[in-house]
Chain A
Amino acid sequence: MAFQRDGDLNLEATELRLGPPGTTEEPEKQTHPTTTAKCNKRSLPDMNEESAGSRTNNSNVSNEKKHDRTSPPTKAQVVGWPPIRSYRKNCLQAKKMEAEAAGSGIYVKVSMDGAPYLRKIDLKVYKDYPELLKALEDMFKFKVGEYSEREGYNGSEFAPTYEDKDGDWMLVGDVPWDMFMNSCKRLRIMKGSEARGLSCAV
């Protein structure tokens, strides 16, 4: 599962934090918080060397990114990119923070194959996948099994899935938590052969 990886950028990607997806809060050597106009005192030797390097390297990277849609977003945020004025960025950020602080929850319907009625949960209540899955297990009285990226959920006849913004049915756990929260429209706990098919196809 995405949250199980350590010591690499994916861990940050699954943390719940305020701010648009793809940003980091802490200033680091390579990344640059661009939300205020006054934070420019860092030297950028790494940036210089990377970007003055060969074009072909970087164009390959961007090509790869286009084709490999299941890979999580990379975190190296370039200074001053995209070229947007600080006050605009602050405005958008402020809006997001307000919305999140205001407690406007992300409510999604949850159905389970064979269950007589649907439930509704607020995704914001959970901070990561383990919490969500535990809550679903309690709510519908089932066990979800062991997740692995290669094989999906092993050891259970159930598979938690969700419908994303594009209308596609995805396996819960493949994408970083933030991305899941922003794209999940409804949840469905699949059972039996359908569930197995989805797991094996991964």
Chain B
Amino acid sequence: MLRMASSFPEEVLEHVFSFIYDDKDRNAISMVCKSWYEIERWCRRRIFVGNCYAVSPPMVIRRFPEVRSVELKGKPHFADFNLVPEGWGGYVYPWIAAMATAYPWLEEIRLKRMVVTDEALELIAKSFKNFKVLVLSSCEGFSTDGLAAIAANCRNLKELDLRESEVDDLSGHWLSHFPDSYTSLVSLNISCLGSEVSFSALERLVGRCPNLRTLRLNRAVPLDRLANILCRAPQLVELGTGTYSAELQPDVFSSLAGAFSGCKELRSLSGFWDAVPGYLPAIYPICPSLTSLNLSYATIQSTDLTKLVSQCQSLQRLWVLDYIEDIGLEALAAFCKDLRELRVFPSEPFAQEPNVSLTEQGLVSVSEGCPKLHSVLYFCRQMTNDALATIARNRPNMTRFRLCIIEPRAPDYITLQPLDDGFGAIVEHCKDLQRLSMAGLLTDRVFEHIGNHAKKLEMLSVAFAGDSDLGLHHVLSGCENLRKLEIRDCPFGDKALLVNAAKLETMRSLWMSSCSVSFGACKLLGQKIPRLNVEVMDERGPPGSRPESCPVEKLYIYRTVAGPRFDMPGFVWTMDEDSALRLS
């Protein structure tokens, strides 16, 4: 084996490795022998760090000296729902500072749920001469001043995508910082910004960038300016409109319809804030070729929604509000046979009574009619075990299934039984299920089903479920591929965690909030397993000031080779050998 490995010159091996992109494959290559490890690390160009605290910037730079593309994720997923207090962490600046010297040829930075400051953006703008791609997904901490620095300095920028980030929107003036000589824009997503950018600057920018494929505008762009923008970019493949509302005027309508017709490559639409039904027909000509439609901000009712989706025979992805109702989903099932992903969001999430006629039946219809459906996010107010079992039998190809019933612990509304068997059917039939989010009244039995059947499951989200530690034990001991587990408001305590402590090192992270894990157990875990960071979050004050048996508010456990972090706010404590001694 050794002789074979060394009989190829390095250059040849490097050339072969350059065709391998997948991280897992590259990791496997690096484990073959020492020389392959060395060759591979010098030619790895792209790294993905799923938890920015699992490793430190110097460690990454030391191993991979020639990286061109970095992807980092910061806060735990439940931060999306305000469960992670402000100041928790996820700061990108230390990474940017380290990479500014180590990777002068860095081209791409993709961040998710991280705190990005204007200083970080300014540092990016001046450190990387060939910078091309900046994607800030659900990030926060920066203002439009930081964006101005990027626009002004990144001559080769191709992609600027701010999806769902929270930006301190000082003004729209930043867009005008793209110099007139700048023409390389391929993708721009400013849909999360509130303030108005200069429309003429926007139009000129769009007009001079011939490779522009993706343009997601923000709500402040009025409907009557959309036609002009589209006419300047007929090559667009993905468009996010601004406000889709205006007084019905025939000339505005006809220029809009004409502009849409001119965009022969358009495959994805989003935006549609405040959509008025009268302007929907403007997109009818391109509906048959649409593959992705995001109507989740459009407050149009089921009749208009039904008419719209019935024309989208090529649709693969639909995001929509529950205004679509069961009747609209039946039409979807009948006309959109290529549908792969469906997300239905609640229009009135806090209302106690249903405001629309959307029930479990809608999802059942789609599961029957759409053979390629494999990814579902569905908010509703009622569910039955039968419906779930039907969906499971219809769609054994399901890979991502997230159900949310608005009322926590809601039982099967017909039998009043827990939904254990329904979700049991899902994990039994859908053998490739990777992601599951459960809802309704659930006992330990559902976790038994999951532990027994969900062998490919990688991410599980649980809320208001289970009876005892046995539930958690089933999941931790049975789900071989589990990487991320997030739990809130479940009666899980110390036993299951301590018995399955070794499992935690095989996962990316575990989140538990409003459960019954004691401070004592957290200390024990932190002491016993060195390569885990056990972080306790408690806004009541130091956990050591309460009895050891007292449950902690929030617990975040993740594997790491970087040791405990030092950028924690006052309400986060790491349980490790040293701090455990300090706290007790």
What is the interface of chain A, defined by CB distance below 8 A to chain B?
A: 20-23, 32, 34, 37-45, 47-48, 51-55, 58-59, 62-63, 65-66, 73-74, 77-89, 91-92, 95, 179, 182
| Docked CA distance A162–B119 (Å) | 60
> Which of chain A's residues have a CB closer than 8 A to the CB of B441?
59, 62
- A187: shortest Cβ distance to chain B, in Å? 20
Known A48-B553, A52-B489, A87-B192; contact A78-B408, beta-carbon cutoff 8 A: yes
- Report yes or no: A47 in contact with B514, Cβ–Cβ below 8 A: yes
B411 touches A44 (CB 8 A): no
| CA A82 to CA B10, docked complex, whole Å | 55
Q: Say whether, besides A62-B407, A84-B346, A55 and B467 are in contact (CB < 8 Å).
A: yes
B345 touches A88 (CB 8 A): yes
Partner of B516, one of A22, A52, A85: A52
Query: Which residue on A lies nearest to B347, using beta carbons?
Result: A92
Q: Give 22 CB contacts A-B under 8 Å.
A: A20-B350, A21-B351, A40-B85, A41-B86, A44-B553, A48-B553, A52-B551, A58-B408, A59-B441, A63-B416, A73-B351, A78-B489, A79-B82, A80-B81, A80-B82, A80-B488, A84-B81, A84-B349, A85-B81, A87-B164, A87-B166, A89-B349
- Size range of the chain B interface in the assembly: 35 or more
Are B515 and A52 in contact, with the CB atoms below 8 A?
yes
Q: Complex: how many Å from CA A36 to CA B128?
A: 34
B84 is an interface residue with CB less than 8 A from chain A:
yes
How many cross-chain pairs have Cβ atoms below 8 Å apart between A and B? Answer: 129
Cα–Cα, bound, A43→B410 (Å)? 27
Which of A22, A23, A86, A88 is in CB contact (< 8 Å) with B82?
A86
Distance A159 CA – B146 CA, assembled complex (angstroms):
63
Q: Which of B280-305 contact A (CB under 8 A)?
A: 296-297, 299
Interface residues of B (CB under 8 A from A): 78, 80-86, 138, 140, 164, 166, 192, 273-274, 296-297, 299, 345-353, 355, 379, 404, 406-411, 413, 416, 441, 443, 463-464, 466-467, 488-489, 491, 514-516, 539-540, 551, 553
> Would A84 and B345 count as touching, CB distance under 8 A?
yes
B residues in contact with A39, CB < 8 Å:
82
Expressed in whole angstroms, the Cα–Cα distance for A37 and B141 within the complex equals 12
Please give, as numbers and ranges, the residues of chain B lying within 8 Å of A51 by CB-CB distance. 464, 489, 514
B352 touches which of A22, A43, A86, A87 (Cβ 8 Å): A22
Residue from B463, B464, B489 whose CB has the most chain A CB atoms within 10 Å: B489
Say whether B551 contacts A55, CB under 8 Å.
Answer: no
Q: A37-B166, A40-B82 are in contact. List 4 more A-B contacts (CB 8 A).
A: A21-B350, A22-B352, A40-B85, A80-B82
A92 to B274, CA, bound (A): 10
A87: which B residues are within 8 A, CB to CB?
Answer: 164, 166, 192
Please state if B80 and A85 are interface contacts (CB–CB under 8 Å).
yes
Residues A40 and B345 in contact in the complex (CB < 8 Å), given A51-B489, A82-B404, A95-B274? no
Beyond A51-B464, A51-B514, A52-B491, is A62–B411 a contact (Cβ under 8 Å)? yes
Tell me how far the C-beta of A18 lies from the nearest C-beta in chain B, rounded to whole angstroms: 13
Among candidates A23, A81, A91, residue contacting B81 with C-beta atoms closer than 8 Å = A81
